[in-house]
Amino acid sequence: MGRDGTSDVHGRAGGAPSGVLDDAPTGAPSETVARTRSTDPEDRSVVSGALPEGEAEIELRDVSKLFKSRYRETLALTDINLGIRKQEFVTLVGQSGCGKTTMLRILAGLIKPTTGEVRIKEQPLWHGNTRDDAALRQLGLVFQDAHLFPWYSVEDNISLPLALRKVDKKERRRRAHELGELVGLTGFERALPRELSGGMRQRVAIARALSYDPEILLMDEPFGALDAMTRDKMNMELQRIAQATQATVVLVTHSIAEAVFLADRVVLLSARPGRIRSITEIPADHPRELEVTAQPGFQDRVIDLRHQLTEDEERLARHGGVSE
Ligand SMILES: Nc1ncnc2c1ncn2[C@@H]1O[C@H](COP(=O)(O)OP(=O)(O)OP(=O)(O)O)[C@@H](O)[C@H]1O
Ligand SMILES: [Mg+2]
């Protein structure tokens, strides 16, 4: 976790330890937020998060998603271009209903985009209506609710994906034990989900997602139901796990502070239909200590992103909450 026990915030402020958002050295022009966005609140121009050819591990190219039912059509996402590098940590934020889950489900191959393309390691995820399941094997998914099987032990829940892949029992046990250790559940292997706290259940869900060594971890508000302290702890754990497994992570959250704390880049979606409104780089090394959240460089970014969200809300209210 990188906690050294003796570290104190004041002692580090003078130096330049890693994990610090040490913006604006004296005299230098402030480059606190390396972002791409317009300052006009009425401007709905789209920001492209496309990366140069060959740099992205996961890519969305000109993606849009239109949901059609008998009664209504909802354009959930449009003009989405985003490349995510290997081992990058990207967080997705935006108002409720702006298309975050839809984007994650598209990345996970659970739904097909209406237009555009998803590429994983330069391979298209869809060939017509057929999904490339080999590409999907590199993905691990964690949702807001842990979705554990109540009658299975921690160990069996963690190793369920391996059982489905016909891995033998001894190997499943070994892997479940190893992962239990990684997420801090040693000693609870035989416990049932009801005997665990919410944070522990979420850790089982993360361990389960890691059981088959996914290179890409997709997480939809995984800590949304947890109290603030447990959430902080889980954020530290997640950084450690992401580093230990060298996973690329895309995480959806409603918490701007969490998004900034965890991310290499924060992608903010505008409301209805979801478009990329801004991409904010967070140039501090991982793992970051919680003290980083008290620093001006960190807080500036949080305030700036909150401001963008408020502008978006106001814009939506001016347009009567009606999508364009
Ligand atoms: N299966 C579906 N069928 C029809 N409409 C859908 C479907 N899934 C999502 N939508 C619509 O798409 C839009 C985006 O939904 P989505 O769940 O992606 O939002 P979100 O950003 O994850 O919101 P929240 O923060 O509340 O979880 C919403 O208007 C929603 O009603
Ligand atoms: Mg959602």
- Using one digit for the tens of pLDDT, what is the confidence trace for 66-82? 999 888 899 999 999 99
Residue 100 pLDDT grade (very low, low, confident, very high; cuts 50, 70, 90):
very high
Give the ligand with the smallest distance to the CA of 93.
1
Q: How many CA atoms lie within 13 A of 196 on its CB side?
A: 28
Q: Answer whether residue 261 shows pLDDT above 90.
A: yes
User: What pLDDT score was predicted for residue 11?
Assistant: 29
Q: Answer whether residue 64 shows pLDDT above 80.
A: yes
Residue nearest to atom 20 of ligand 1 (CA): 97
Q: What average pLDDT does this structure show over 219-242?
A: 87
Residue 168 pLDDT grade (very low, low, confident, very high; cuts 50, 70, 90):
very high
Q: How far apart are CA 125 and CA 61, in angstroms?
A: 12
Q: Helix, strand, coil proportions of the chain in percent (round to 5)?
A: 35, 20, 45
Residue 322 pLDDT grade (very low, low, confident, very high; cuts 50, 70, 90):
low
Q: What average pLDDT does this structure show over 114-122?
A: 94
- Residue 248 corresponds to which tokens in the numbers above? 């690329």
The answer to whether 189 and 173 have CB atoms below 8 angstroms apart is no
User: What pLDDT score was predicted for residue 189?
Assistant: 93
On the question of a cis peptide bond just before residue 222, with omega within 30 degrees of 0, the verdict is: no
**Is 97 close to ligand 1, i.e. is its CB under 6 Å away?**
yes
Residue nearest to atom 3 of ligand 1 (CA): 67
Of 218, 72, 22, nearest to 136 by C-alpha is 218
In this predicted structure, which of 11-25, 106-120, 200-214, 239-253 has the lowest mean pLDDT?
Answer: 11-25
User: What pLDDT score was predicted for residue 17?
Assistant: 41
**Is 201 close to ligand 1, i.e. is its CB under 6 Å away?**
no
In this predicted structure, which of 18-32, 158-172, 220-234 has the lowest mean pLDDT?
Answer: 18-32
State in Å: Cα 101 to ligand 1 middle. 7
Q: Which of 70, 100, 106 to mutate for ligand 1's pocket (most ligand atoms within 8 Å of CB)?
A: 100
**Is 108 close to ligand 1, i.e. is its CB under 6 Å away?**
no
User: What pLDDT score was predicted for residue 320?
Assistant: 63
Minimum-distance ligand 1 atom for the alpha carbon of 111: 1
Minimum-distance ligand 1 atom for the alpha carbon of 254: 25
Residue 3 pLDDT grade (very low, low, confident, very high; cuts 50, 70, 90):
very low
Q: Which of 63, 71, 74, 312 to mutate for ligand 1's pocket (most ligand atoms within 8 Å of CB)?
A: 74
Q: What average pLDDT does this structure show over 286-307?
A: 93
Residue nearest to atom 12 of ligand 1 (CA): 76
Residues with CB under 5 A from ligand 2 (ion): 101
Q: How far apart are CA 81 and CA 18, in angstroms?
A: 31
Q: How far apart are CA 286 and CA 79, in angstroms?
A: 31
Q: How far apart are CA 188 and CA 262, in angstroms?
A: 27
**Is 102 close to ligand 1, i.e. is its CB under 6 Å away?**
yes
In this predicted structure, which of 119-128, 228-237, 248-257, 311-320 has the lowest mean pLDDT?
Answer: 311-320
Torsion of CA 194, 196, 200, 204, to 10 degrees: -50
Residue 183 pLDDT grade (very low, low, confident, very high; cuts 50, 70, 90):
confident
**Is 96 close to ligand 1, i.e. is its CB under 6 Å away?**
yes
Q: Answer whether residue 44 shows pLDDT above 80.
A: no
User: Of the segments 101-110, 181-190, 312-321, which one has the largest average pLDDT value?
Assistant: 101-110
Q: Which residue has the tokens 């906690």?
A: 3
Minimum-distance ligand 1 atom for the alpha carbon of 274: 14
